[in-house]
Copies of this chain bind each other. A is one copy, B any other.
Amino acid sequence: MASSTDDLSRRLTEARDVADKEVQKALDEAGGLPMYDMLRYFMGYENPLKTPSPGMHGKRTRSALLLLIAEMFGGSKSAPVLAAGIELFHNFTLIHDDIEDGDEMRRGQPTVWKEWGINHGINAGDAQTLLVDRCLLRASGIDSDGHAAAELMNETFLGVIEGQYLDFELTEQTLGDATVTEEAYLEMIRKKTAILIGVAVAAGGRSAGTDETTTQQLFTYGESLGMAYQMTDDLVSIWADEKTTGKAACGDIYERKKTFPILYARDNGAEDTLLPLYAEREPLTEGDVAKIVTTLEGVGAKEATVDCIISHIKKATGVAMSLPINQEDKDLLAALAEKIAASAGIVQI
């Protein structure tokens, strides 16, 4: 697997560079109004308004994935502009999410609304969605495969916004509410996070002419990757230390987020401990959080989460092996799936 991992890293880096240039081009074409400099700042590009830290740039994961998959299926003319579209869309959702969640910092820098106010945050985000549409319309004008991929992306983008709605609904309810279920949580993260990775992969293939069955398989591969990615995030928020994640230890618990381990524990014997602590309004103490973690571990919530991640990774790997691509590319996609789990430093496949 070592060669697949090296190859993966090299090809992803190449794809990232291409994607990054496309994103920058889309912003450069937009114009010189300071509104676009707010977007350049957020996307990590130099601009006269505010210099972003190198960390603001982001990893261009979704766009690189789209280009990589298109390449595996023989390449497509519309993949570069579609890649810019998915990257701009992902970051647009972050600009508005930061307002909705009141988050003042992202990637170690002030968020758009924090820097320029909520009105500019909403409006600059709106400008970015229109740049997304511009990318999709361009792809649509290139060829019928580009059009089909663009329509698939638009449909999925709407699903992501639905995922955000579902997240609001879950957040507004108490942990004891009948609508707050494992299934509801999994459906929320599927829509909010996983399907965007699904469509990065699927649109890459579709733009290169994959048929319906293969496009669906690609979607499933990416969606499984996305589910594993989000659940790994939930896992490390509780069971990895700050040094590994760069985020506050047990941040999700302090925020009383109703993630998978919490819901699993609630449904498997930890209800009496969790419900009162989650119903309170006061901040949780260090002691409360330690008690919650011990309780989660006592009912096997960590193992259940790991099992769930492993099953998504296995699903992704299985689908990768059935794709009509060469063995080297199959191995590369399998290596990518396993990398997500390994990144947690916890899950051993």
**Chain A residues close to B by CB (< 8 Å):** 30-31, 33-35, 93, 96, 99-100, 118-120, 122-124, 126-127, 129-134, 136-138, 140-141, 147, 150-151, 154-155, 157-158, 161-162, 164-165, 168
Which secondary structure characterizes the binding site on chain A? helix
Could you list 30 A-B pairs, sorted by A, with CB under 8 Å?
A30-B158, A35-B161, A93-B126, A96-B122, A96-B123, A96-B126, A100-B119, A100-B123, A120-B168, A122-B122, A123-B161, A124-B165, A127-B158, A127-B161, A129-B133, A130-B157, A130-B158, A130-B161, A131-B158, A133-B136, A133-B157, A134-B154, A134-B155, A134-B158, A136-B137, A137-B147, A137-B151, A140-B140, A140-B141, A141-B147
**Is B154's CB under 8 angstroms from A130's CB?**
yes
**Is A164's CB under 8 angstroms from B134's CB?**
no
**Is B35's CB under 8 angstroms from A162's CB?**
yes
Contacts of A137 in B (CB 8 A): 136-137, 140, 147, 150-151, 154
**18 further A-B pairs in the complex, CB-CB below 8 A; given A126-B129, A130-B158, A140-B141:** A33-B162, A35-B161, A35-B162, A93-B126, A96-B122, A99-B122, A100-B118, A119-B168, A123-B165, A127-B158, A127-B165, A129-B133, A130-B157, A137-B140, A137-B147, A137-B150, A140-B140, A141-B147
Considering the complex, give the chain B residue whose CB is closest to the CB of A93.
Answer: B126
Shortest CB distance A255–B (Å): 16
A165, B133: Cα distance in complex, Å:
19
Shortest CB distance A184–B (Å): 13
Given A140-B147, A151-B141: A168 and B134 within 8 A (CB)? Answer: no
A123, B162: Cα distance in complex, Å:
9
**Is A154's CB under 8 angstroms from B168's CB?**
no
Q: Would you list the 3 A-B pairs with minimal beta carbon distance, nearest first?
A: A140-B140, A35-B165, A133-B133
Contacts of A127 in B (CB 8 A): 158, 161-162, 165
Contacts of A140 in B (CB 8 A): 137, 140-141, 147
Given A154-B130, A157-B130: A168 and B136 within 8 A (CB)? Answer: no
Which interface residue of A118, A123, A168 has the most chain B CB atoms within 10 A? A123
Contacts of A120 in B (CB 8 A): 165, 168
Considering the complex, give the chain B residue whose CB is closest to the CB of A150.
Answer: B137
A245, B126: Cα distance in complex, Å:
31
Contacts of A34 in B (CB 8 A): 165
Contacts of A154 in B (CB 8 A): 130, 133-134, 137
A129, B131: Cα distance in complex, Å:
12
Contacts of A147 in B (CB 8 A): 137, 140-141
Considering the complex, give the chain B residue whose CB is closest to the CB of A124.
Answer: B165
Considering the complex, give the chain B residue whose CB is closest to the CB of A158.
Answer: B130
Shortest CB distance A248–B (Å): 23
Shortest CB distance A102–B (Å): 10
Contacts of A134 in B (CB 8 A): 151, 154-155, 158
A150, B123: Cα distance in complex, Å:
21
Contacts of A129 in B (CB 8 A): 126, 129-130, 133
